[in-house]
Structure 1
Amino acid sequence: MSLPNQSSVDGPEGAKRTDQARSGAPSGGKAVGDRFSTDEIFQRVVATADEEVDSVTMKLYLSGLAAGFAITLTFFLYATLRAALPNDTTGLFTPLLYPLGFVYIIMGRYQLYTENTLTPVTLVLTRVASIPALLRVWVSVLAGNFSGALIGTFVLAHTGVFSVAASGAAVNIGLEGIQTPWWDLVFKAMFAGWLVAGLVWMEHAVRDSVSRVVLIYLVIYAIPATGLYHIVVSSADVFYLVFTGNVAVATGLWEFVVPVLLGNTIGGVFLVTLINYGQTANRFPEGEGPRTRLSISDWLFSLRVSKPKE
């Protein structure tokens, strides 16, 4: 995920209107320079979404792969710290390093599935991108995320990177997830999806890197600290259990990955994207030309994306 490149507008005319990025999205608020309205945030999200749906499938996959590798870092750090702090009965200290992989992903502009429950969905809701185009983004990114987590956990399971204690902690984390009732996982993951999609929304409302890092850290820390589940981290948990012989592939996928994927998707799409879409009116950057809404048949069955007219 990447934010639109910004450029300032000079001169008296520029002083009276909102600064705009090259995409046409606002890089400053109209009413207050360092605060964006809901419409302005939505326009910045749309600019990011345009870049994502325009990306070729291989680029999306490779960016998702990089994100999957970064999630392996989160998995590794979380298990290592949990092993080092066996008496942390509150569960507030073991997640301290958990957000680091997400900082790499979001600041490095890699593609993460849960982020994409917001950005490209905005184009589908406005009917300028089709549902199949959205699914292409989702499948490409999720395949990359899973591949990165698979490779990363394979290395951890077959080398001496993990200490014995950390390996045991990683196994216990995964088993705790699988032993959680199916629908409990869905609802826990729904709240996590809400957090991550909300993070992406808020990230489009800030203008500097320090604020972004603090925001990422606090929101992502809340996921393990409150016992919630993120699909890519959960997939790493399952892959590690499979590689260490603690669970069968089918069991891990059905009992853990599927409910978490479902919950994250519901949380991101319904609790963030649809709600924020409903409270906006001017959804496209002022600096771009008009767009033609797709026909219902194209919206449902084609891979088309409507572009601004010059």
Structure 2
Amino acid sequence: MTPQDDSQTLGQDAKRVKESPAEAAGVHKAIREGGEKELSRTASALFWSAVAAGLSISFSMVTMGLLRAHLPDTEVAFLVECFGYTVGFLVIGLAKQQLFTENTLTAVLPIMTSPNFTNLAKMLRLWVVVLIGNLVGVAVFAYAIQALPILDPKTHEAFVSLGEDVLINTKGEMFAKGIVAGWIIATMVWLMPAADQAKIWVIIIMTYLVALGEFTHIIVGSTEILFLVFDGQASWSEYLFHFMFPVLAGNVIGGTFIFALISHAQIRSDKPPR
């Protein structure tokens, strides 16, 4: 997608919002229509877009690790380091790649509007394909960055510490923090149609908040933990049962069963968004 196409899409989203009888209904309609388009895409197109997103989101870990390696160990350094978290999301957002936690909102609104088995099957297909593609992308990136002679010892240590900071959470903390992260990312997606030229700032602000609160994100966190796995400092069992499953459940609940349900409920009794 070219910058001109992206600008045109943003303008169309903003136009739909302005033309809607109620602003919330306009946002709902814009996101729902985008979700319907995603649900109609082929599995192959979704998968490769998701793999690209997995590779792209890994730049969040890389940027944070590089900043951590070169900044002094202070509270201010942590505040600066958190900006590195936004880089991967910026790449994905501007490149229009498929990220699982964004689909927990966009793919859900169509089924909430028209609940039927066909829409449910399409949503589950999209979720599975995108999640697998994202995880393949981050796994490839994490293995490459660990195996290739790229990192100096200080940077390597910084990357290890990123994963260790995530693993110190209990399973309950992984789950609870995942709910908040899912909510924040869903909020970011909800703001996009009306953001217009401020889209970049919406991405930066919302994802910076995720990093600042050290909330758990299934895809970004997978890059950090899989780096530890490939480095021999964490096991696959720790990745799957201590991190992946609790965080995945939290992200889905936060983005789908809380934010999407509430967002849909607020316009349900108004004029239908169609």
TM-score (norm 2): 0.90
- 1:96 is matched with which residue? 83
- What pairs up with 1:270-281 in 2 under 5 angstroms? 270-280=257-267, 281=270
- The letter of the residue matching 1:270 is F
How far 1:201 sits from its partner (Å)?
Answer: 0.3
Match of 2:252 among 245, 250, 265: 265
Is the counterpart of residue 185 in structure 1 residue 174 in structure 2? yes
- 1:174 is matched with which residue? 163
1:4, 1:48 within 8 Å by CA — same for their partners in 2? Answer: no
- 1:131 is matched with which residue? 120
How far 1:119 sits from its partner (Å)?
Answer: 0.6
Is the counterpart of residue 112 in structure 1 residue 99 in structure 2? yes
1:88, 1:94 within 8 Å by CA — same for their partners in 2? Answer: no
CA–CA distance in 1 between the matches of 2:193 and 2:151? 36
Larger radius of gyration: 1
Match of 1:71 among 57, 71, 86: 57
Q: Could you say what the CA RMSD is over the residues aligned between the two structures, in angstroms?
A: 2.4
After superposition, what is the alpha-carbon deviation per residue over 1:219-250, rounded to whole angstroms, capped at 9, x for unaligned? 10111111111110111112101110001112
- 1:218 is matched with which residue? 205
Identity %: 28
Distance 1:65 1:7, change over 3 A: closer
* Uncovered stretches (5+) of structure 1, i.e. residues with no partner: 9-19, 286-310
Distance 1:255 1:270, change over 3 A: same
Match of 2:69 among 83, 91, 100: 83
CA–CA distance in 2 between the matches of 1:264 and 1:199? 14
- The letter of the residue matching 1:223 is V
More helix by share: 2
What secondary structure, in the 3-state scheme, does the structure 2 residue paired with 1:161 have?
coil
- 1:56 is matched with which residue? 42
Is the counterpart of residue 203 in structure 1 residue 204 in structure 2? no
Q: Which runs of 4+ in 1 moved over 6 A?
A: 1-4
Aligned length: 266
- The letter of the residue matching 1:216 is I
CA–CA distance in 2 between the matches of 1:110 and 1:272? 22
How far 1:117 sits from its partner (Å)?
Answer: 0.7
CA–CA distance in 1 between the matches of 2:208 and 2:30? 25
1:3, 1:47 within 8 Å by CA — same for their partners in 2? Answer: no
Is the counterpart of residue 159 in structure 1 residue 184 in structure 2? no
TM-score (norm 1): 0.80
Is the counterpart of residue 142 in structure 1 residue 131 in structure 2? yes
